[in-house]
Amino acid sequence: MRQKLLLMAAGGTGGHMFPAQALAEAMLKRGWRVKLSTDARGARYTGGFPHSTEITEVSSATFARGGVLAKAMVGPKIVGGVLSMVMQMRRDRPDAVIGFGGYPSIPALGAATLMGLPRMIHEQNGVLGRVNKLFAKRVAGVACGVWPTDLPDDALGEHVGNPVRGAVLERAGAAYIPPGDYPMSILVMGGSQGARVLSDVVPGAISALPENIRQHLRVSHQARDEDGERVTAFYAEHGIDADVQPFFHDVPTLMSEAQLVISRAGASSLADISVIGRPSVLIPFAAAVGDHQTANARGLIDAGGAIVIPESKLDLQSLTEQITSILSNPTAALQMSAAALSVGVPDATERLVALVEQLAEKDKS
């Protein structure tokens, strides 16, 4: 009996790749073959994918980067990628195609559209990304990670949540130890690519905390490669126990052990925070398309699970005050943890699996 084939298309950043990884894990367990179409940049985030995932790199490009010559080559690269995917799909026809956003998903979704194959997209954010917006009316449906999501007229959306990796699910709802007069930890996350503004402000804010809080702290701080040395030096100079890395492979463990998370408001990060259930101070990326990170954070804010500081208002004093307000109030921290957990969608992967299987079955009927 022929194995069913799911073709996933994603790329660009971990925000697109992590939910694709979660879906791949689930579909493989259900006996499907799984292919991932991405580009060289996206391939950097495939280390955690199951080994049986078939990964193919495809030609694509974006107008957002590069000079005049690079921009002139965008069209030909995309066309070449689409034609390549058409040939691949003719040889190995997928039962369903799903795009997770990012320009590397254009070739697979474009080819599936030309061939009339069953297709859908998953949008992680509260505002559609450029590529997903392009295809929203050309697919069977939009699986939404955040609700409500701003969708075009005539686009069919359904809230499924953002799938999280198995390592996160293993720590879903892990018991929260509120802040107190004992060792505590703070996890600082800037998204899969780090965030310079957090490296500029967070160390100073932590060093300015009252001594009765600061003396108990252990900080895990994600920083860009070029910022790592100065951030490490600052923490050391101020006697703060800190581990500074460009990327943490054990984020679920670090998050489950943390009394507080300081983070950007990327969709994958917020999904992890809400499924594990941790208080957070969020600094949405001001330049995000459509201010989607602020939209992402809306659910956690409304539930009382997070405090948001707009990037334009972020400074040492404001951040120090918010960190202090949480770490000096165990009752409030416990309430924030429970509130964060209340908006988590731990079964997001199962919901997305159901939509993929419905899509494949509908094509046969």
Q: Say if residue 93 carries a ligand binding annotation.
A: no
Q: Say if residue 14 carries a ligand binding annotation.
A: yes
115's tokens: 């061939």
Q: Say if residue 165 carries a ligand binding annotation.
A: yes
345's tokens: 């969608």
Question: Could you tell me which of 75, 36, 69, 34 has the C-alpha nearest to residue 55?
Answer: 36
Question: Could you tell me which of 104, 90, 89, 111 has the C-alpha nearest to residue 37?
Answer: 104
13's tokens: 């950043």
Place of tokens 């009252």: 210
Q: In this structure, are residues 296 and 268 in contact, taking their beta carbons and an 8 Å threshold?
A: no
User: Using CA atoms in the order 78, 80, 81, 87, what is the torsion angle rounded to 10 degrees?
Assistant: 150
The string of DSSP letters for 192-261 reads TT--HHHHHHHHHHHHTS-HHHHTTEEEEEE--HHHHHHHHHHHHHTT-EEEEES--TTHHHHHHH-SEE
- 108 vs 112: CA distance, rounded Å: 6
Give the strands of the sheet with 306-308, arranged side by side. 241-245, 217-222, 184-189, 260-263, 280-282, 306-308
Number of other CB atoms surrounding residue 287 within 10 Å: 8
Q: In this structure, are residues 225 and 244 in contact, taking their beta carbons and an 8 Å threshold?
A: no
257's tokens: 């052990």
Q: Compute CA distances 301 → 40, 279, 294, 298, whole Å.
A: 36, 11, 10, 5
Q: Which amino acid is at 260?
A: L
Q: Say if residue 192 carries a ligand binding annotation.
A: yes
Q: Say if residue 293 carries a ligand binding annotation.
A: yes
The string of DSSP letters for 260-315 reads EEEE---HHHHHHHHHHT--EEE---TTSGGGHHHHHHHHHHHHTSEEE--GGG--
Q: Say if residue 110 carries a ligand binding annotation.
A: no
Q: Say if residue 125 carries a ligand binding annotation.
A: yes
How, if at all, do strands 241-245 and 280-282 pair?
unpaired
Binding residues: 13-15, 125, 165, 192, 293
Binding residues for UDP-N-acetyl-alpha-D-glucosamine: 13-15, 125, 165, 192, 293
